[in-house]
Structure 1
């Protein structure tokens, strides 16, 4: 079901044309980005239950996502509850080892703070001066947000010519050194291939063996890297979040490090589950490196809202909803 949540895609339209006596879907994240995804899943398994998308948005999505309307949430939950069988991993895999999640707050150096603030103020000035339609302005805001997120990871990702060191890379170096000393293996996720390249250079200088996978990795080479890591070749596996965040079995690792927070916690959780899954025999520790007092901190705050939205609707049987242009602009406008 993960593949047809978006009602606007050709794949989704093709799914709706399938004929059969019964329909059943399986997904670990029925609500990932916004409630419109839930509507589309139910459009397939129980057409008409949630009405038209326009009516669904008016009765449920808008009140719940924008106003935290508890009555609307209760009514929606009661509608979908008879058609959902929810099983948590902790319920069906009782032998699974414990899972510990740790958020590591990384403090930037004075040089990094100056660079970040300069980029943020320039972004605010540029956006304030722009007189675009909402759609065009949204694209510009997203571009500025992306630039700030890259700056949080490493100054060279926004200004390759600078010689400012990265506090986040230093924090990563300390974690990896300790893990290697104690013979642990780690999966390292980042959304930015450029960030992974910087980490690769660091691992090379430290002579730390690793495997690597991103969206450009051919299928055959991908399988070779996975098999090698599972067989003990490499202390670290560097993985692009979107390319390797699901569908992989990497239980040779007992540590997971998220180098930068993604908008949606469900995506990170799925990536962490590459290690914390059936076949794992050791406790799994998950580190999230978050640059303090930056846009990364604000993204992590959004995570909790998304988790609550999903849990509140699914109990007993994510940016929370679609963000407006003003919501996105506010992520940049104010210093933390």
Structure 2
């Protein structure tokens, strides 16, 4: 049985302080929760960034407002004076019981008077993982984000809450809702003075979002200069995407000549967007001397190792805005993560030494991972295809044309084959010794040779070294498959040439660090079944290289959600049948289809015809034969085959 006792404030205070001793005698006391939680004690709370600073950026000063609080409620100066005027014990203030301890109150007030009243935004954000100013440790205070800082971080973490930015009318595309959010987010990041990492999953349109952002910059600032750094294999892809979506944008490519020639071209140029490669940045001094309005890195994992010369040179670039694009944000090796953020938002994760000290304590304190994620999330936008809010708006199959650049060796061989064919046709016509049938033979033989050269010079030359650096397509294949490997996903690689299948498989083994399979017309029925069962099983089999004709129908390979057409069949129906090995009932993921095209070659010209003339594609090219090409006049034929 409990007995209710009636106390004065002074008696209650004394009793509550003695509860522990009373309970030790065996008497159970029922007391208010606010006493057990010590909620009536005064404490210092610091609110960071209550109001928007005059200028935004990592070095901007944000307000740091210390307040005396009781159970989360701030006390006014008048409240504090009232408490100091009362005798020690319990006082009822603002509907709460408050402990009046004059000595502690004066000590807290003294601490508050000695505090700074501002802090840089960078220091405020660093406190998330314990770097920067140790405010809470210095004064025993609870630190919380104020109204402006809370809203800003909330917007960055969820861009759909930001007021939507208008897409320029000069952009020839309709953005999907999540792409519009990404474009708006990039504009918001620039406005705040922050660098950004656009880390959307492969196939969600990072390129389009960045091009829209750049087009808005171009329209609003006539004198702006921007730099895009990409792997060499992606130059053609960016050129094509820009021509398609932002045709008014002026572009200059600095690649493919001597450093001296390229330096002169850059100095003489006035393009809004300069595209170059990672290797070229260190060779053109003017890149580092220019103050860029924006520097963008595509496949930004190229700077994941902070110790390499390439990474150090990239980080010397000066820019008002920095954007890193990667479909595989680095999550496992935290040194790589630090290097990425050292580029986009220098100093946010502290120095390399400070970050190393932080990571050393993660094994003992795994909650540090959550703090790190919370800290970087505002600066990294990542949408994945498995997210239902994104996937509901996506087609089930994302098809894209990837442009590979010919290497020097490929270019020389390609031009020689075309020249020899032209010369042979003209000579035989001049001698009246060529029949239509003979001409067809010469043309079709030349086309086959050109296709082989576009794949790899060694395929055409009958050699077996297959050095990756000698083929633009091999380099492009590596770029895409490295991303697939990091995500532990699977890919089908289709080719029409049986002779190159084993060499492609050998090369893919070096990329995936695991064996895959080869399936073509010579594969027995029993072996086919064995390959399909193994690929569809639980053990990780990263790839199969397949011939289009032998594997285009009848196979169920839904464990793959990536399809690469290494060379083109020039028949949409045949290619779609091949793609449908993965894109069929049972497929749980969106399928990403890559169609490789060698830039400036017959492959690109046929691809353009397939895209622009659907009727031609279905009625003429639809047979899957190149025989229609032989019916062209000489000038039409030579124009089609020549390297642009």
TM-score normalised by the chain length of structure 1? 0.64
* Superposition deviation, residue 224 in structure 1: 0.7
Matches within 5 A, 1:182-201: 182-201=487-506
Q: Partners of 1:328 and 1:247 in 2: how far apart?
A: 40
Partner of 2:452: 150
Is 1:175 equivalent to 2:477 in the alignment? Answer: no
**Paired residue total:** 237
* Superposition deviation, residue 309 in structure 1: 5.3
Partner of 2:532: 226
Q: Partners of 2:573 and 2:441 in 1: how far apart?
A: 24
Partner of 1:139: 441
Change in CA separation of 1:309 and 1:293 when aligned onto 2, cut-off 3 Å = closer
Q: Partners of 1:102 and 1:166 in 2: how far apart?
A: 20
Q: Is the 8 A contact 2:457 2:470 kept in 1?
A: yes
Q: Is the 8 A contact 1:102 1:287 kept in 2?
A: yes
Partner of 2:630: 325
Q: Partners of 2:637 and 2:448 in 1: how far apart?
A: 11
Q: Partners of 2:402 and 2:575 in 1: how far apart?
A: 15
Is 1:259 equivalent to 2:561 in the alignment? Answer: no
Is 1:123 equivalent to 2:421 in the alignment? Answer: yes
Q: Is the 8 A contact 2:564 2:596 kept in 1?
A: yes
Partner of 2:4: none
Change in CA separation of 1:216 and 1:196 when aligned onto 2, cut-off 3 Å = same
Matches within 5 A, 1:303-318: 303-304=610-611, 307-308=614-615, 318=620
Q: Partners of 1:122 and 1:134 in 2: how far apart?
A: 18
Q: Is the 8 A contact 2:485 2:542 kept in 1?
A: yes
Partner of 1:91: none
Q: Partners of 1:295 and 1:328 in 2: how far apart?
A: 16
Deviations 1:262-306 (CA, angstroms, capped at 9, x unpaired): 121111011011111111111110001110000111221232366
* Superposition deviation, residue 122 in structure 1: 1.3
Q: Which has the higher contact order (CA 8 A, sep 6+)?
A: 1
Structure 2 residue ranges without an equivalent (≥5): 1-391
Instruction: Classify the secondary structure of the residue corresponding to 1:158.
Output: helix
Instruction: Classify the secondary structure of the residue corresponding to 2:628.
Output: coil
Q: Of the two, which has the highest radius of gyration?
A: 2
Change in CA separation of 1:292 and 1:168 when aligned onto 2, cut-off 3 Å = same
Q: Is the 8 A contact 1:214 1:239 kept in 2?
A: yes
Q: Mean Cα displacement is larger for which, 131-140 or 165-174?
A: 131-140
- The equivalent position to 1:213 in structure 2, one of 502, 508, 519, is 519
Task: State the superposition RMSD in angstroms.
Answer: 2.6
Structure 1 residue ranges without an equivalent (≥5): 1-93
Q: Partners of 1:183 and 1:220 in 2: how far apart?
A: 27
Moved over 6 A (4+): none
Partner of 1:160: 462
Deviations 1:81-138 (CA, angstroms, capped at 9, x unpaired): xxxxxxxxxxxxx9x9711001101111223212211121112112222332212221
Q: Partners of 2:603 and 2:462 in 1: how far apart?
A: 21
